[in-house]
Chain A
């Protein structure tokens, strides 16, 4: 037993701390603490509703475009135009969000997750003539190795040549994800924090030259996803087979669906989407999505108890730091009172369970290569694989959509700002189910609530004391080397949390047995 302090866990977004109690080398209990409160929902009150899509993108600079889409769908519904958005606008929104998410998945695997598996130091032994690798070798030989050292030592299992190739891919992936952002900017103006998506449609108009520019940037992403990203995920999964059963989690998965395939229905929970809506559990049986079952609980969060278990459409954000029993700025979203994981695994599993033929072929083909069963999807490697397949499923759809655009036809529909209205916008961000809710009074925002994917995943315990998904995925995990707790950071990063993070491993009584530092 020992107390391991890892503070913060890096290569995730934002500020998070996790305390894990380890007994006899096994994680017994976990507390996830969101360590930053910014109060954006409070700031939105009293503002022009249309400004929500600009302000809510600033919740997260990693998935701003998904917030922009959620806010816009939310406002479309509040303004009564959810079923009147022109096809050009629906498609351009998909192109903006699609290129963004595809590059985000690449960023996560190579720049946030890979350093847990890939031994960069092997590049020092590189003897070929790849100029990129030689520049990294030169960098290593100079001895100032930030940001690659220090790091955990020990469990790096890939052969030298594979490590070297993976580092070359790390560098290449920087370029590829930048090109993904360039594709976003063709219709979105710029990114991070795009400007192209607005209630009523989009600001840009399709032209043949921007359609072609977009398509050929996407082809670069597709080539990388097919020939580098997916093979690398399979290679890592093959070298770390135990991670197909580590970090299982709650086995309840929730998807809001995303990428509207038609805009005729105003009901986002049933309209036709590329990634489909619903929930699945361990048996992979599908259940329809019912947005009224979503609540946010705050018994263990630093918010007033009176605001617990409310549906987000009348949710409240009233901070109360130091509340007894609370340990996080993060609320605990629950679906039908139960704990649900969101993310690429959830949307791929829901779309698989609904029988989409392309997803079925992709999932089954990958599992066959890994000689794994569908239950292996509930794991660290399952999440990485699902993320890569999510990237492919999206990227492979974009060219066809771009070719459906009709230059010369409208991409925006004017509307009247209502005096009073309520709205809901739901979509899938890179990290999973994202929902925005608004209440408008006197043509101003009276209340705005955003329930973001990482809030689902790193949520603290709920009113019934049920642990959140990341907490559950950590509990019961064997930690082989407490000085280099790879298992814990690999599990956390498999969720791609949008929070920088600290991990504490304490004894059941909280007794400290010495802080750990690795040179």
Chain B
């Protein structure tokens, strides 16, 4: 008997980049995740996902609402996007009820209340992200704020990134299947899994040696550390340098571009201007031990 884990994937104020990044999952592939048994005897039953599901309209909303009713307390809610908490939340709706649009705020509240756990995918859902950028005209807020405001106490995991690497999401789901919901010590204070967000970009960057040596790129295409071109690697937690993107093909700094800090709550307002140097931060240098020593040569 295969155990079915119902999942509702709700899109709120976002750009669909998170949905597309999940299609890029390489091993397991998105087909393995949705069609096959992700782990022996366990299948992810994606009941609602507006970008890929066959159903449309009332039929699609029915699938969402049926899941919440029939699988009460047993389904995982994935929220992709920030949620407008403007006075009457007029800026975003998902489907209708009795001829009236149902706001994204109402949807998240209802679905989170009856969920087993909530996963916020992307920086918008995790921290507000681009959707909440100043002057935040729609009062867009992250899922955590919505749950707090509505008094909903559900296990919440944030998978930030604009978009996140597909492995960060798939790995978190796999971990839940194999080991149960994450324990407090598995997450950092921003509710990110430490397995993926435990170290700074700067700690694992292949250009780190250039930073330590004070060799900085002055314009794009130059060799050297991208710090002076605006790299936010020194303040950004993610394993991009080791995992690399798009099936391990490349990554941001691999293409000679500065990290823009997209997994951080600071993204985008405090992480920008993106092409201006961070204010100086005190960082240890890898080469400090050898500084001034004769043995170096």
Contacts and interface: CB of A to CB of B under 8 A. Distances in A.
Given A10-B53, A147-B53, A148-B54, A54 B260 contact: yes
B206 interface: no
A356 to B, nearest CB: 31
A150 B63 contact: yes
B200 interface: no
Interface string A169-206: 00100110110011011111111110110101111110
Interface string A132-160: 10011001001010111111100000000
B16 interface: yes
Contact of A500 (B47, B50, B133, B273): B50
B51 A178 contact: no
Nearest to A64: B17
Nearest to B4: A144
Interface residues of B, number: 86
A136 B221 contact: no
A120 interface: yes
Contact of A185 (B62, B99, B246): B246
Contacts of A39: 137-138
A92 to B, nearest CB: 10
Interface string B1-19: 0101010000101111111
B58 A516 contact: yes
Interface string B193-207: 000000000000000
Contact of B95 (A8, A146, A175, A202): A8
B130 A58 contact: yes
Contacts, number: 282
A196 B24 contact: no
Contacts of B247: 178, 182
B173 to A, nearest CB: 15
A171 B289 CA distance: 53
A412 B43 contact: no
A139 B257 contact: no
B268 interface: yes
Interface size class of A (residues with CB under 8 A): 35 or more
A37 B19 CA distance: 19
Interface string A461-498: 00000000000000000000000000001000000001
Given A181-B24, A189-B245, A174 B58 contact: no
A12 B251 CA distance: 28
The 6 closest A-B pairs by CB, nearest first: A61-B17, A6-B57, A189-B255, A190-B245, A195-B257, A48-B273
Given A8-B94, A51-B274, 20 more contacts: A6-B59, A8-B50, A58-B130, A60-B16, A62-B15, A144-B45, A146-B46, A147-B46, A148-B54, A181-B246, A185-B246, A185-B255, A190-B251, A195-B260, A198-B257, A198-B275, A204-B221, A204-B255, A411-B221, A500-B50
